[in-house]
Structure 1
Amino acid sequence: MTDTSLTMLPGRRRRDWIRLRTTILLRWMAIFGQLVALLIAREHVGLVLPLGPCLLVISASIIVNLVAMFVFPGNRRLSERETMLMALFDILQLALLLALTGGLHNPFALLLLGPVTVSASVLALGSTLFLAAVAMTVVSALAVWHVPLRLPDGAALEMPPLYLFGVWAALIIALAFLSIYSRRVAQEMHAMSDALTATQMALAREQKLTDLGGVVAAAAHELGTPLATIKLAAGELAEELSRNPELSEDARLIAAQADRCRDILRSMGRAGKEDLHLRQAPLTEVLREAVEPHQNRGKTIVFEQSLGAGAEPLPPAIHRRPEIIHGLRNLVQNAVDFAHDTVWVEARWSADWISVRIMDDGDGFPPQVLARIGEPFMRRRRSVRDLVARPQYEGMGLGLFIAKTLLERTGAQLSFANGADQAAPRERRPERSGAVVEVSWPRRKIDARSGEDPVPSAGPNRPIEA
């Protein structure tokens, strides 16, 4: 997938994930909780609190909520800046309320973690760092400046200095840890969402190409007989009208145009197959179809085949599915991109398994990322070698993720390895020393004759349904 396609994916462009209605509802819950906490602390616990200033701070949240409800529609989605300002207001409002009720001696100081954690999940890095810095500043300030909590006898309710330092350190560490943790999880979720979207786009494109080939092949097949009849009738008319040059010329023109229609349909139908091959084809032919776009890219592609236990000599007929073709094509593309000279595509089948192994003579997979191959957007930076070898690709693992996802949907199992130790000198490595990708299916999953979903070997053509 190219850079342009990647930039259009929703997880990379959108930050308007939060609705205003959700923010308003959460703030009403916070307001209710703050009022209940004040009531219990004052009436049941007996703490002496500055009730007027506290209610004034809570009323600020009420006013902001009412303005948001009456000025903006509830289904409005907040922009990045608006979400950041909302979170900033919540941090400052809670900080001011805590300052009036004991600062870090108040156990509800833990709630300062909430707005920062949410912002780390949905906002950009700059906004998250800003809110985290504000929250850490507020926590440090509350440790020093606050109105003490007092019991009914006037005694201050305060923690020992060492314990207060521990609370401060715990909050600072929690702010940093939860921000990093939430942001990391959100990035992986967005990356997975983008990669799955790209997979669906690739599969839809391959499905359209397959359907188009089927339509063309069906049209060529169905129109072949009437075009032959038209040509035959036109030839007979031309002979009968030989004494009338003008009508004879028209008859020959009809025959010529029938030939032209036949040639056009034949040319268009080259991308398709005969009727039975629209749904099935020999394993080797499916591999050739998958490899075809990369045949003329300056690398030699060698096809091989081998038989396993109980296998028949002829290649098995498998389902000609877009997932299989596109997935194998992506794997071959990766091999061609990084091979020095040669890529080997080996088909192997037995009575129970069908496998395809793709090997090259390149430098292989980097050992440090071998266990993570197949994850979406795995690589964030590209080396100079990658820029030269693959200037048109992002190089972040998306192609391998698409291939792995599509092939696993057909029941395949994928394994990635290197053909030789990458630390060894190149002159001592075997010929097939590069990357090795093996795709294996239980035969019943894709065998078009004896598998779980067999294709009829014969039968009349059926109309194409919309």
Structure 2
Amino acid sequence: MPSPASPTDALRRLIGLRWLSIGTMLGVLLFVPWLLDIPLPGAALLPVAVTLIAINGLSMLRAARISAIHPAELFAQLCIELAAWSAFLYFTGGATNPLISLLLPLVAIGAAILPGRWAWLLAVLAVVAYSVLWDFNEQLDIYDSGLAVHWHLAGMWLTFALSAGVIVWYVVRMTAAIRRRDQALAEARESSLRSERIVALGNLAAGAAHELGTPLGTMAIVAGELARNPGLDDDTRADAEILLTQIAHCKTILGGLTLRAGSLRAEGGSTMAADAWLAGIIERWRSQRPHVPLATRIDCGDPAPTLVADTTLEQAIHNLINNAADADPAGIECEAGIDGAELVIRVLDRGPGMPVDEAAPRSPGQGLGIGLLLAGSAAERCGGSIRFAPRPGGGTIATLSLPLANLQP
């Protein structure tokens, strides 16, 4: 896709300006003889406008079919415009015609969109055209010299106003395009930095997974022996069994870490209904943090849409719920449903909430922690987003929005 200030966009703007030139030429042919009683050689001028119309039509077809244009082609387009106006001015008084000032916007536009050498060459050609029209032209028959001076000054004013409007319009659009390009570059740099952080975290996680295998195995053996010790009371034995369950969860997470890292959809992921997928994620979270109450409301319609079980998104939802539980261990809520073409998951807590200067909704990856950084990355890879907003009455609402089209098989 071309950038906002690409040569193809410049060509489209030149096509629009050429329609303005054609309209100006036809307007002169139509109104000057009628309003000013100045005869014009229509037989010589009309072919100039018709030729420009044909060239502009061909340029429109070309602009619609190509994705890259060499600056030399833009230079050629401006030269065509320069030649057309030079021919038009030749038959209407040459340098004495106030419309001669319309050559200046062409030079200004060339300076804005062409490389230096092409822009200078266009300026030289415009000066040469002006100089040639100074001596070589066909003067118009104007019988009243006083009236001619008056209309010449009026034409100079009109040409100046038109030239100023064209230059401002074009430069403003170019400036806006440059701003959009700079913003896109800034967003790309931010995304690149975020991706580098995620890659670094992935390398760190891979090393941690390798190193934690042995201590987790030792912990599992010790916890198993404690759970089988007949001398322990029931409460201690129950705690040992919970510890075994948590160790098993840790080993499962570490075992699937490499599959989850950097994958939009897990290899071999199965398809299931959206409500069943979400219910499974919530139940797995409850098994890991049974002491934090979690109220859920899942309404994905009947029947619920079928999704591909995505482990990276499972981890994202898990991290959002974890974040809320850390902020409010007394109890949190999770709501999920279909909103148009999106699956929307909201996690609500009554924790301390967001700072006043951060109360506006924002994207992840802005100092909210590694878990939410990874959750945001997983959402972005699916074309979704995570936003945070204050909850009325205190607390925070985290909203995960995922396009259904990117989740369905």
Structure with more relative contact order (C-alpha pairs < 8 Å, separation 6 or more) = 1
Which TM-score band applies after superposition, normalised by the shorter structure?
0.3 to 0.5
When the two structures are superposed, what TM-score results if normalisation uses the length of structure 1?
A: 0.39
When the two structures are superposed, what TM-score results if normalisation uses the length of structure 2?
A: 0.43
